[in-house]
Structure 1
Amino acid sequence: MISTRRTALGSTAALTLVLSLLSLTAPDAAADPVDYDKGGSQTETGGSDSNGSGIYAAASVQYSGAVAKSGGAGNVSSADVNWTPPSCWYAPYMGAKDFKKKMSESLKSQMGKPGMTGHAGAALSETQRHYEDDYGWTDTPGYKDYNVDKDGEGMFWAGVENPNEPDYLKRTSCSELPFWVDNGEAPPARYEQAITPEMLAALAYQHMELPGTKVTLAPEAITKVNLPTWAWLDEAVFDEVQATAAINVPGFAITATTTAKPKSLTLSPGTADATTIPANGGCPIVNGKIGEPYAKGKAGETPPCGIIYRRSSGGATLPLKAALTWEISWTGTGQAGAIGMPDGTIEATQNITVEEIQSVNR
């Protein structure tokens, strides 16, 4: 929020109203999902020159690679419950001429409405002075005629909400008035939520869509009490998956690619009356595969990955959950090598029926 220490108004609510009236926050962009096998990508880019004068670019993130459709969150859950992607951020929004056109028209429209007095009217007046008359606050410099004389040499940055953030207060916390950044320069240090490659990597993580985890079982759906159920994954699952997030506008370009590699499979049998193999339920990748396919003649052997059910399911089914853990890392603008991120998991449930072994008494 614009704080009282930076404005003579003494009312954060008034300046919050200014932002809501002007609707300056730009939307997040998204990409359609990618065919894993073909390795293609589709990207929805940012803006373009809106009226032939000056530079315009929507403060949008461009996604490509294995990402969810239409900007939605992907299917990866972080293994670290304390890890979260950014709720909002500041990013390039408009060049000076386009910003002047939008802001001045919005201010004129709002100031001409009936009842626009008191704190709201004062906030609008101060905002106008801030951008037109070089009126600054304690640590926020003002601008003369919206910096039009510097058009093309930089951009105004604005707050962008993460549409996948459920907490409204967090999502709308990047509510500083738009501020100017020269091309090639970093935003002022006090804007801690200015977009960075690391933040883009987190957004790519949030949008990443990994292949589904369907464990092959033997027996497949109906197993017997005290007999091992073998479990393994198709080798095709073990291809690494990448998602990229980028911002590329005149004078500012950063990108980050998040890479996921399968790490281990954890089985949860759906009942306490079962033994997992290994005992902790975690089946690691060994020689490029998890588990071992069952083959004729192995009925008396113990599988490297599987479950032994100790009691019948009584005609019902048990929810066998298989969680595949992926090792996540990222690379991006200005980074020399890959940087680790919290592991990610995707989970699938398969229904299993457990039957008693029928025996014949003579």
Structure 2
Amino acid sequence: MHALTRRRNRWLVVAAAAGMCALTPGTAMAGWGPGGQSNGDTAETGGGRSGSDLVSMVRYSGSSTGGSGGGKGNVTPVGDWNPPACWYEPRTAADFQKYVEDMYTETVNTPGQHSYAKTAVGQFRETYKDGEYKNYNLDEADKGTWWVAVQDPDRWMEPAAQLCNESPFWVVNGDTPDVPNAVTPNVLAELAYNRLRLPETEVTLAPENTTKVNLPTWAWLDGATFKAVDVTAQINVGGLNIQATTTARPISLKLEPGTKDAETYPASGECGINDDGSIGEAYARGKADETPSCGIKYLRSSGKGKFALRATVTWEITWTGTGNPEPAQLPNGTFGADQEVVVQEIQSVNR
């Protein structure tokens, strides 16, 4: 059997044992994950330890980092693309040794732990301590690092998060791991993409909230609110020090009236961005007879209900980073929200 296949099979055995561990009260799931987490605007967060689990060593900072738990975050990629749900990143020999030994100790000392889990974790430990590798390669700690699979904590149940199933492997300093999603500046940029947090998309309307049938309703977004946001992802482990900054810039607003009985300005419903970063044009006294550059005209009333106006901003997303000083394109992203609009009939008095 090929060595890489043997290593993969051993890793799957340990993963299965870890699943048993997860079902045992008081025992943390043994495995490489979850991924790095962010916890607030302008935050800098990254890897650490939680019980016998290692979290990602990727650190995030910038003007737009949000907390985990939001699925794919505020940004929905345009097209059939998603940031990685799992990836590989390095660990020093000492960190790797501590992780495996802690996992082994916790597993074998947990009361009621299944013997299969103890055996599988013991075999995994033996591979790196006294088997295929010796003493976790501590004698070669200055020559390389262990590379391990990590999952995005918000997406660990997705099939894509299970694709990084190679067991930990040794990489000599300066070599590039021959596996998909080995962390690179480009992969870091894609991970940062998933942590972009964008402003709420609520357009300003005139008339506000309540409008009239056949009356053009102006719509706009303030350029001071809808400005570029960015997230930087960086990893610095065992001589690997790379980073990438992903930046999102608003480029257009799409209006969907919430009913077929309406017209949009322009007809496509797509309002482009102005030179000052705003979208649309603010209504002002004296413009009642003008046609808005961005807006809606409802052709029937909402009756006793309301129409759900959908406003979606498209963001152009690029990245720069280690070895890539010029902005490179990532898929555009969208983020939108609904807001309620009441449309009334214009009342007339017959004399």
TM-score normalised according to structure 1 size: 0.81
Residue of 61, 66, 86 corresponding to 1:68: 66
Taking a change above 3 Å as real, the CA distance of residues 271 and 102 of structure 1, as seen in their structure-2 partners, is closer
Please give the per-residue CA displacement for 1:212-258, whole angstroms capped at 9, x wherever unaligned: 22211111111111111111111213421111111122311121111
Is 1:312 matched with 2:301? yes
Deviation of 1:186 (Å): 1.9
The whole-number CA distance in structure 2 between the counterparts of 1:105 and 1:286 is 57
The whole-number CA distance in structure 1 between the counterparts of 2:299 and 2:73 is 36
The whole-number CA distance in structure 2 between the counterparts of 1:61 and 1:144 is 28
The whole-number CA distance in structure 2 between the counterparts of 1:184 and 1:204 is 24
User: Which stretch shows the higher mean deviation, 243-252 or 15-24?
Assistant: 15-24
Query: Which residue in the other structure is 1:355 paired with?
Result: 344
Q: Which amino acid in structure 2 is aligned with residue 130 of structure 1?
A: T
Taking a change above 3 Å as real, the CA distance of residues 227 and 71 of structure 1, as seen in their structure-2 partners, is closer
User: Which stretch shows the higher mean deviation, 168-177 or 247-256?
Assistant: 168-177
Query: Which residue in the other structure is 1:29 paired with?
Result: 36
Query: Which residue in the other structure is 1:251 paired with?
Result: 239
Taking a change above 3 Å as real, the CA distance of residues 226 and 115 of structure 1, as seen in their structure-2 partners, is closer
The whole-number CA distance in structure 1 between the counterparts of 2:220 and 2:317 is 22
Deviation of 1:321 (Å): 1.2
Query: Which residue in the other structure is 2:269 paired with?
Result: 281
Query: Which residue in the other structure is 1:46 paired with?
Result: 47
Is 1:77 matched with 2:76? yes
Query: Which residue in the other structure is 1:53 paired with?
Result: none
Query: Secondary structure in 2 aligned to 1:86?
Result: coil
Residue of 310, 317, 322 corresponding to 1:321: 310
Deviation of 1:88 (Å): 0.6
Is 1:59 matched with 2:56? yes
Please give the per-residue CA displacement for 1:117-167, whole angstroms capped at 9, x wherever unaligned: 7x984x6675455324453xxxxxxx2222111124332121111112164
The whole-number CA distance in structure 2 between the counterparts of 1:183 and 1:202 is 24
Taking a change above 3 Å as real, the CA distance of residues 252 and 310 of structure 1, as seen in their structure-2 partners, is same
Structure 1 gap segments, 5+ residues each: 35-40, 49-56, 136-142
Taking a change above 3 Å as real, the CA distance of residues 287 and 148 of structure 1, as seen in their structure-2 partners, is closer
Is 1:180 matched with 2:170? yes
Is 1:99 matched with 2:96? yes
Query: Which residue in the other structure is 2:207 paired with?
Result: 219
Query: Which residue in the other structure is 2:84 paired with?
Result: 86
TM-score normalised according to structure 2 size: 0.84
Query: Superposition RMSD on alpha carbons, in Å?
Result: 3.1
Q: Which amino acid in structure 2 is aligned with residue 42 of structure 1?
A: A
Taking a change above 3 Å as real, the CA distance of residues 33 and 105 of structure 1, as seen in their structure-2 partners, is closer
Deviation of 1:68 (Å): 0.9
Query: Which residue in the other structure is 1:6 paired with?
Result: 5
The whole-number CA distance in structure 2 between the counterparts of 1:114 and 1:242 is 45
Q: Is the 8 A contact 1:214 1:348 kept in 2?
A: yes
Aligned residues: 334
Q: Is the 8 A contact 1:198 1:256 kept in 2?
A: yes
Structure 2 gap segments, 5+ residues each: 22-28
Deviation of 1:47 (Å): 4.5
Residue of 127, 130, 134 corresponding to 2:127: 130
The whole-number CA distance in structure 1 between the counterparts of 2:100 and 2:16 is 14
Taking a change above 3 Å as real, the CA distance of residues 194 and 3 of structure 1, as seen in their structure-2 partners, is farther
Taking a change above 3 Å as real, the CA distance of residues 62 and 102 of structure 1, as seen in their structure-2 partners, is closer
Please give the per-residue CA displacement for 1:311-347, whole angstroms capped at 9, x wherever unaligned: 1111311111111111111112121411111111111
Query: Which residue in the other structure is 2:292 paired with?
Result: 303
Q: Is the 8 A contact 2:90 2:145 kept in 1?
A: yes
Residue of 145, 151, 176 corresponding to 2:135: 145
Q: Is the 8 A contact 1:218 1:229 kept in 2?
A: yes
Deviation of 1:67 (Å): 1.2
